[in-house]
Chains A and B, each alone.
Chain A
Amino acid sequence: MQIYLPIAEISVNIFLILGMGGGVGFLSGLFGVGGGFLMTPLLIFIGIPPAVAVATEANQIVASSISGVLAHWKRGNVDFKMGSMLLIGGVVGSTFGVWLFTYLKTLGQIDLVIQLSYVVFLGVIGGLMLIESINAMRRSKTSKPKRKHHNFLHALPFKMRFRRSKLYVSALLPIGIGLLVGVLSAIMGVGGGFVMVPAMIYLLGMPTAVVVGTSLFQIIFVTANVTVLQSVNNFSVDVVLAVLLLVGAVIGAQFGAKAGAKLKGEELRILLAIMVLGVCVKIALDLTLTPDDIYVLGNTGGH
Chain B
Amino acid sequence: MLRYFCLLSLTLFGFISGPAVAPAVAMDLDVDLSKPDVRLNVSFKGAELLLFGAKDAAGDVIVVVRGPQQNKSVRLREKIAGVWVSTDEVIFGNAPAYYALASSRPIYEILPAAVMKSERIGTDHLDLQIKAKPDGATQQTIQDFTDGLVRIMIRKDLYTNEAGVIELVGKKLFRTDLWFPANVSVGEYTVNTYLIANGVVETKKTSHIQVHKVGIEARVYNFAHEQALIYGILAVIIAVISGWTANAIFKKRA
| C-alpha spacing A227/B235, complex, angstroms | 8
Shortest distance in angstroms between B100's beta carbon and chain A's nearest beta carbon? 19
Shortest distance in angstroms between B39's beta carbon and chain A's nearest beta carbon? 10
B76 at the interface (CB under 8 A from A): yes
Inter-chain contact A298/B75, CB cutoff 8 Å: yes
Inter-chain contact A7/B240, CB cutoff 8 Å: no
Cβ–Cβ < 8 Å partners of B229 in chain A: 228, 231-232
* A108 with B71, Cβ < 8 A, contacts A66-B244, A242-B235 known: no
Cβ–Cβ < 8 Å partners of B155 in chain A: 293
Report whether over half of chain A's contact residues are helix, strand or loop; otherwise say mixed: helix
Q: How many pairs of residues, A versus B, come closer than 8 Å at their CB atoms? A: 189
Cβ–Cβ < 8 Å partners of A287 in chain B: 83-84
Inter-chain contact B44/A288, CB cutoff 8 Å: no
| Chain A residues packing against B (C-beta within 8 Å) | 2-4, 6-7, 9-11, 47, 59-60, 62-68, 70-71, 74, 108-109, 111-112, 116, 224, 227-232, 235, 237, 239-240, 242-243, 246-247, 250-251, 253-254, 287-288, 290-291, 293-300, 303
Closest to B233 in A: A228
| Chain B residues packing against A (C-beta within 8 Å) | 40-46, 68, 70-79, 82-86, 89, 91, 97, 144-145, 148-149, 151-152, 155, 182-183, 185, 213, 216-218, 220-221, 224-225, 228-229, 231-236, 238-240, 242-247, 250-251
Cβ–Cβ < 8 Å partners of B233 in chain A: 228
Inter-chain contact B238/A108, CB cutoff 8 Å: no
Cβ–Cβ < 8 Å partners of A109 in chain B: 85-86
Residue pairs across A and B with Cβ atoms less than 8 A apart, 30 shown, are A4-B41, A6-B213, A6-B216, A6-B224, A7-B220, A7-B224, A10-B183, A59-B239, A62-B243, A63-B240, A66-B243, A71-B250, A111-B86, A224-B236, A224-B240, A231-B229, A239-B220, A242-B235, A243-B242, A251-B246, A288-B83, A288-B84, A290-B79, A291-B84, A293-B151, A293-B155, A298-B74, A298-B91, A300-B73, A300-B91
Shortest distance in angstroms between A74's beta carbon and chain B's nearest beta carbon? 8
Task: Name the residue in B89, B97, B247 with the highest tally of chain A Cβ atoms < 10 Å from its Cβ.
Answer: B247
Cβ–Cβ < 8 Å partners of A242 in chain B: 235, 238-239
Inter-chain contact A11/B45, CB cutoff 8 Å: yes
Shortest distance in angstroms between A233's beta carbon and chain B's nearest beta carbon? 8
| C-alpha spacing A298/B149, complex, angstroms | 10
Inter-chain contact B224/A237, CB cutoff 8 Å: yes
Q: Besides the contacts A4-B182, A64-B243, A65-B243, what 17 more A-B pairs have beta carbons closer than 8 Å?
A: A4-B40, A4-B44, A11-B44, A227-B236, A227-B239, A228-B232, A231-B228, A231-B229, A232-B229, A250-B243, A251-B246, A290-B84, A293-B148, A293-B155, A295-B77, A299-B73, A300-B71
Indicate which residue in A7, A74, A297 contacts B74 across the interface (CB closer than 8 Å): A297
| C-alpha spacing A2/B74, complex, angstroms | 31
Shortest distance in angstroms between A96's beta carbon and chain B's nearest beta carbon? 21
Shortest distance in angstroms between A9's beta carbon and chain B's nearest beta carbon? 7
Shortest distance in angstroms between A165's beta carbon and chain B's nearest beta carbon? 23
| C-alpha spacing A66/B183, complex, angstroms | 33
Inter-chain contact A294/B148, CB cutoff 8 Å: yes
Shortest distance in angstroms between B30's beta carbon and chain A's nearest beta carbon? 33
Inter-chain contact B40/A303, CB cutoff 8 Å: no
Closest to A234 in B: B228
| C-alpha spacing A300/B78, complex, angstroms | 20
Cβ–Cβ < 8 Å partners of A11 in chain B: 44-46, 182-183
Shortest distance in angstroms between B235's beta carbon and chain A's nearest beta carbon? 5
Cβ–Cβ < 8 Å partners of B152 in chain A: 293, 295-297
Cβ–Cβ < 8 Å partners of A2 in chain B: 43, 45, 182
Inter-chain contact A70/B247, CB cutoff 8 Å: yes
Cβ–Cβ < 8 Å partners of B250 in chain A: 71, 254
| C-alpha spacing A63/B83, complex, angstroms | 36
Cβ–Cβ < 8 Å partners of B76 in chain A: 294-295
Cβ–Cβ < 8 Å partners of A250 in chain B: 242-243, 245-247
Inter-chain contact B242/A247, CB cutoff 8 Å: yes
* A237 with B75, Cβ < 8 A, contacts A3-B43, A251-B246, A297-B152 known: no
Inter-chain contact A231/B232, CB cutoff 8 Å: yes
Inter-chain contact B242/A295, CB cutoff 8 Å: no
Inter-chain contact B70/A62, CB cutoff 8 Å: no
Inter-chain contact B43/A303, CB cutoff 8 Å: no
| C-alpha spacing A291/B75, complex, angstroms | 13
Inter-chain contact A232/B228, CB cutoff 8 Å: yes
Shortest distance in angstroms between A256's beta carbon and chain B's nearest beta carbon? 11
* A9 with B185, Cβ < 8 A, contacts A70-B247, A295-B77 known: yes
Shortest distance in angstroms between A245's beta carbon and chain B's nearest beta carbon? 10
| C-alpha spacing A10/B157, complex, angstroms | 13
Indicate which residue in B42, B78, B83, B151 contacts A4 across the interface (CB closer than 8 Å): B42
Shortest distance in angstroms between B70's beta carbon and chain A's nearest beta carbon? 5
Cβ–Cβ < 8 Å partners of B183 in chain A: 9-11, 47
